[in-house]
Amino acid sequence: MSSPEIASLSWGQMKVKGCSTTYKDCKVWPGGSRTWDWRETGTNHSPGVQPADLEEVVKKGVKTVVIGRGMSEALQVPPSTVDYLKKNGIDVLVLQTEKAVQEYNALAARGVKVGGVFHSTC
């Protein structure tokens, strides 16, 4: 199963190819995507992305995770989150969201089992 292409990104809106939903923040993995609801894990801009935000994506068997920190990179990614991914044998890229989407789409196009979490505003 391949990772779906992120078809478009603009401030506060993301579209994933093959999905009719418009996301503000989203999670993607081989074969699927869904809204990334920060309230599920109590995530805020600081301290930022928690391992709990990534568990669902990790369980999909990804080899790489791309984290989009927002258009202005306001969303933090603590070292403990990066360590969690590395301990699970997963490569991680932490980038500004536009760059993150470009990298994610390039990896997906090459057939890499890539997943991601993307914040589309600040």
Residue type, 85: L
Number of domains, the chain: 1
Express each pLDDT in 9-50 by its tens digit: 999 999 999 999 999 999 999 999 999 999 999 999 999 999
- Please give the residue range of the domain that contains residue 60: 6-118
Output 1 or 94, whichever has higher pLDDT: 94
Residue 19: predicted pLDDT: 94
Confirm whether 82 is domain-assigned: yes
Q: What is the rounded CA–CA span in Å between residue 10 and residue 26?
A: 13
Tokens representing 27? 């999670």
pLDDT, residue 63, reads 98
Both tokens assigned to 7: 């078809």
pLDDT value of position 90: 98
- Is 1 within the bounds of a domain? no
14: CATH? 3.40.1230.10
3-state secondary structure the chain: CCCCCEEEEECCEEEECCCCCEECEEEEECCEEEECCHHHCCCCCCCCCCHHHHHHHHCCCCCEEEEECCCCCCCCCCHHHHHHHHHCCCEEEEECHHHHHHHHHHHHHCCCCEEEEEECCC
Confidence of residue 118 (pLDDT cuts 50, 70, 90): very high
- The per-residue pLDDT of the chain, averaged, comes to 97
Q: What's the confidence (pLDDT) of residue 112?
A: 97
Provide φ and ψ at 72, rounded to 5°: -110, 10
Give the mean pLDDT of 83-98: 98
The pLDDT assigned to 16 comes to 98
